[in-house]
Chains A and B, each alone.
Chain A
Amino acid sequence: DIQMTQSPSAMFASVGDRVTITCRASQGISNYLAWFQQKPGKVPKRLIYAASSLQSGVPSRFSGSGSGTEFTLTISSLQPEDFATYYCLQHDTYPQTFGQGTKLEIK
């Protein structure tokens, strides 16, 4: 199975900060990577697909980049509603695998 390693596992940030979350794949996955946001008790929401394509309706402060084994999710200016847990998912190879999550908390 392809292992997806996210870093950091948790982070504190302030409104207005620029935040970057990294996801590393144990082998190359081309651009078959998605990013999800999940708030407590809620259903996950896809933010980015194909590594860098912004989901319709998602604010442009979210962006994704990368290819192969290293990927990043960037939030350019944190808003209060962005404090949540973020997951990456590789769908290059079955089984599809998620990263362990990054919990983004208010400083």
Chain B
Amino acid sequence: QVQLVQSGAEIKKPGSSVKVSCKASGGTFSSYSISWVRQAPGQGLEWMGRIIPIIGTPIYAQKLQGRITITADTSANTAYMELSSLTSEDTAVYFCARGDNGGYPLDYWGQGTLVTVSS
């Protein structure tokens, strides 16, 4: 059974960075896409970017380009999402999600990580 377990909630100051981890178990990690999606309080879902660990080259949402870094450590079956220059608008629940065998995205989801940006 595939499981994605994310790191815990974070409280950050404006202007700082946050790094959220997503550890996969129960399936092959390297060849499946790992996407990051966030959801601000009371708002909809926003796709942030994705990586295929065995390939390594991430793709990012234009809106976040320059502030987001998605990486993967295949030896640890873990993906990471780092977001810098945080503002209050980055307060959200951040999800990682894995694609399926057919290459379709967002089949398995992590539990979500709440990131609060506040002075």
Q: Which residues of A contact B (CB under 8 A)?
A: 1, 34, 36, 38, 43-46, 49-50, 55, 87, 89, 91, 94-101
- Asked if B107 contacts A95 (CB within 8 A), the reply is no
- Asked if A98 contacts B112 (CB within 8 A), the reply is no
A sample of 26 inter-chain contacts (CB < 8 A) reads A1-B62, A34-B104, A34-B105, A36-B45, A43-B109, A43-B110, A44-B37, A44-B109, A46-B106, A46-B107, A49-B102, A49-B107, A50-B102, A50-B104, A55-B107, A87-B44, A87-B45, A89-B45, A89-B105, A91-B104, A91-B105, A96-B35, A96-B105, A98-B47, A100-B44, A101-B44
Residues of A within 8 A of B109 (CB): 43-45
Residue of B nearest to A53 (CB): B104
Interface size class of B (residues with CB under 8 A): 20 to 34
- Of B47, B100, B111, which is within 8 A of A97 by CB? B47
Secondary structure type dominating chain A contacts: loop
Q: Given the known A-B contacts A89-B105, A89-B106, A91-B105, are A44 and B61 also in contact in the complex, defined by CB atoms under 8 Å?
A: no
Q: How far is A106 from B54 in the complex, measured between Cα atoms in Å? A: 45
* Shortest distance from the beta carbon of A11 to any chain B beta carbon, whole Å: 16
Q: How far is A50 from B102 in the complex, measured between Cα atoms in Å? A: 10
